[in-house]
Amino acid sequence: MKFKLLMPVFLFLFGFIYLFTSTSTVEANNSWGGYHWARTSNPFSLKLGDNLSSNWDPYLVTASTDWNLSSVLDTTIVSGLTTGRRCRPTSGRIEVCNSTYGKNGWLGIAQIWASGNHIAQGTTKMNDTYFNTSKYNTPAWKKLVVCQEIAHAFGLDHQDEIFDNPNLGTCMDYTNNPSGPPSNEHPNTHDFEELELIYSHLDSFTTVGQTVGQTAKAMAMDNAENPEAWGRQIKSKGKLALYERDFGGGHKVFTFIIYAE
């Protein structure tokens, strides 16, 4: 009889624990497709090429410092190897750029070149055509976009994609009010948890820090800020979109878009 009386209590507690752990897992699940940099040890060091004008440099420093709190990833800011307008990729690193790209609708872009499920190189672009306007020319907007676009090149996706709901307190949450409260200018705990999940296994080779890349040759893209070069749209929600261009042989370029209002 006592066993029968205790069963409902046990089931309730089991259900509560399951719900709690499942919810926690879902909240931290902001990887996209399992794409990651191949490397043979953790933490690994990833170079961020600085092709930015001086007014953008502090925001790159902030983003690099923030993401270096991760236990699996260290970023290092180095001299850029391209120009803001062209923003050509460099194998084994991320080039970070800004320019007046024109009234083409997008505020920021992250592009990732992948071979199989391994990231080989990336670029991020901030469009000063919009950032020079009163709405976007604020530290909060610039911190959000730099933080988020760089993180896409790590393999992170958004935690939330609803434009006008309450902030989650992470730059991986798109918003119409990045300063909050809470602020969406920096990563949060769930972002670091997800990076740990993405990079929990090691590879037998590395795509980090290469100076010559066959992947780049296989996936050359001219005028990469032009939508005609992005391939097919595989995701669209509000002010966000994701495109995929398939070059065959497991070689793809992914383009993440943040649109301006």
Torsion angle in degrees (nearest 10) through CA of 66, 189, 236, 59: -10
Confidence bin at 238 (pLDDT 50/70/90): confident
pLDDT tens track for 193-235:
999 999 999 999 999 997 655 555 557 776 787 888 999 999 9
Secondary structure of residue 174 in the 3-state scheme: coil
Q: Looking at residues 61-75, what average pLDDT do you find?
A: 98
Contact call for residues 227 and 244 (beta carbons, < 8 A) = no
Contact call for residues 109 and 122 (beta carbons, < 8 A) = no
Residue 13 clears pLDDT 50, i.e. is over it:
no
Of 222, 192, 238, 153, nearest in space to 72 by CA: 192
Q: Which two tokens stand for residue 92?
A: 């084994």
Contact call for residues 149 and 109 (beta carbons, < 8 A) = yes
Residue 10 clears pLDDT 50, i.e. is over it:
no
Distance of CA 68 to the CA centre of its chain: 14
Query: How far is the CA of 244 from the CAs of 228, 235, 241, 252, 255, in angstroms?
Result: 11, 9, 10, 7, 7
Residue 14 clears pLDDT 60, i.e. is over it:
no
Residue 17 clears pLDDT 70, i.e. is over it:
no
Pairing of strands 73-79, 44-51: parallel
At 166 the pLDDT is 96
Contact call for residues 84 and 98 (beta carbons, < 8 A) = yes
Q: Which two tokens stand for residue 93?
A: 């690193």
Torsion angle in degrees (nearest 10) through CA of 60, 63, 67, 73: -10
Q: Looking at residues 150-168, what average pLDDT do you find?
A: 95
At 190 the pLDDT is 96
Residue 186 clears pLDDT 70, i.e. is over it:
yes
At 88 the pLDDT is 92
Secondary structure of residue 213 in the 3-state scheme: coil
Is 32-259 assigned to CATH 3.40.390.10?
yes
Across the chain, what does the average pLDDT equal?
A: 87
Residue 146 clears pLDDT 60, i.e. is over it:
yes
- Say which amino acid occupies 241: A
Contact call for residues 48 and 60 (beta carbons, < 8 A) = yes
At 210 the pLDDT is 78
